[in-house]
Structure 1
Amino acid sequence: MIALGSVVLLLAGAVLFYWLRLDSRADTARRLAVQQVTRQTLVNLTTVSQGTAKSDVDRLLNAATGEFRDQFGAQAALFQKVLEQAKVSSQGEVREVGVVSLDEDNAVTLAAVTATVHNVDAPGGELRQYRMRVHLHRDGDRWLISDLEFVA
C-alpha cells in the first residue's frame, strides 16, 4: 500500500513538473513575442521619411488596435503632412525592451529608443532619445499595440 502511494505521489509530481515546464515555455514565448512586436513597432514609428510617409503610416496602423489605432488613425493625414512639409527623414533604433506585465492577452513594455532625425530645422541630423511605455493586446495570434505613451 505504501509503495502504491509512493508511485501515485511520484506520478503526480511528474505531471505537475511537466505542466509547470509547459507553462513556463508558453510564458517565455509570449514574453519574446511582445518584446519583438514592441521592437518592430517602435522602429517603424521612429524610422520614417517624407518619401515613404503613406506606407509608414499604413505599417503603423497595421500593428495597432483599440484606442491607439483610433487616435493614430485620426491623426494619420496630419502625420503624413508634417513628414512631407518638414522634409523629415528619421532612422530609429530600439536600444532595450523590458516587459513590465504580461498575461495571456495583455502586456505592458517599456522601451529605450534613439532616433537620428533630419528635417528642415536639423538638416545635419539630430540624435533624439525616447522612453516609451507600450500596451499590447493579443488579437488571435497577433500582438497589437493598444496604447503608446512617451515617458520621462
Structure 2
Amino acid sequence: MSAEQKLPVATPPITESKSNDEPSAAARWWWRKPRRSVTVLAALTALAAVLAATLYLTMYRPDKRVDDDARAAVTDTASQGAVALLSYTPDTVVSVVDTARGRLTGEFLDYYSKFTTEVVVPAAQESSVATQATVSAAGPVDVQADTATVLLFVNQTTTSSAEPEPATTATSINVELTRSGDDWLISGFDPL
C-alpha cells in the first residue's frame, strides 16, 4: 500500500442537533415508563391490602370472637362425652347408652344408636364387658361460633368374662361438636 492509498475511515453521520428543550422520543418513553411502574405498583399494593383485609375479616376474626370460656366449654363437653360414651358395665350399659344419646347429634347420633343396639349392648351383656375411660389430655383444635373440634387422649380399661385381667388401651380421638342452642353436642367421634 502506498502512502497515497488510504483506507476509508468511517465517520458517524451528521445529524441535526435538537435543542435541549425538546426531549427525544426515547427519552419521552423512558420518562413515561417509571410513571407506569409506579402506577402498577400502587395498584398491586391496593389489591394486596384489600385481599389482606378480606382474609382477616373472613378467616381470622371469627376464630378470635370465640373466647376462652367457649374453648373451655367445648373441651369439657368433649371430655365428659367421651367418658360417657366409653364407660359402662354389663348392668348399666342400657341406661348409659340411653343417657349418652342425649349428648349426640346428627349422623353420629344415628350411627351410635345403631351400633350400640346391634353390637355394644349385646356384647356387654353376653360377655360381661365392662369399660372405664379417662381423658388424660384434651385441647381444642378449632373453635368457631357454632362448630368445634377437640383432640382427646383417652385411656380405656376393659374387662370381660373371657379376659378378667384389666387391659388398658390409649387412644387419641378427634371429637367434633356442634352448637345447639346454648349446648354443645357431639357430631363426630373419630379415633385417630
Whether TM-score is above 0.5 comes out as yes
Give the number of the structure whose alpha-carbon radius of gyration is greater: 2
Q: Which has the higher contact order (CA 8 A, sep 6+)?
A: 1
CA distance in 2, matches of 1:102, 1:24: 9
Aligned positions, number: 129
Moved over 2 A (4+): 23-26
Q: Corresponding residue for 1:17? A: none
Where structure 1 has 5 or more consecutive residues not aligned to the other structure, the ranges are 1-22
**In the alignment, does 2:99 pair up with 1:47?**
no
Identity of aligned residues (%): 29
Give the residue type in structure 1 aligned to 2:174.
R
Give the residue type in structure 2 aligned to 1:70.
D
Q: Return the match for 1:28 from 68, 76, 82.
A: 68
Q: Corresponding residue for 2:110? A: 70
Q: Corresponding residue for 2:128? A: 87
Give the residue type in structure 2 aligned to 1:117.
T
Supply the RMSD in Å over aligned alpha carbons: 1.6
Give the residue type in structure 1 aligned to 2:128.
K
Give the residue type in structure 2 aligned to 1:37.
T
Q: Return the match for 2:148 from 107, 111, 125.
A: 107
- Cα offset, 1:26, TM superposition: 5.2
Q: Return the match for 2:180 from 115, 118, 139.
A: 139
Give the residue type in structure 2 aligned to 1:144.
L
Q: TM-score, normalised by structure 2?
A: 0.64
Higher helix share: 1
Higher strand share: 1
Q: TM-score, normalised by structure 1?
A: 0.80
- Cα offset, 1:120, TM superposition: 2.3
- Cα offset, 1:45, TM superposition: 1.8
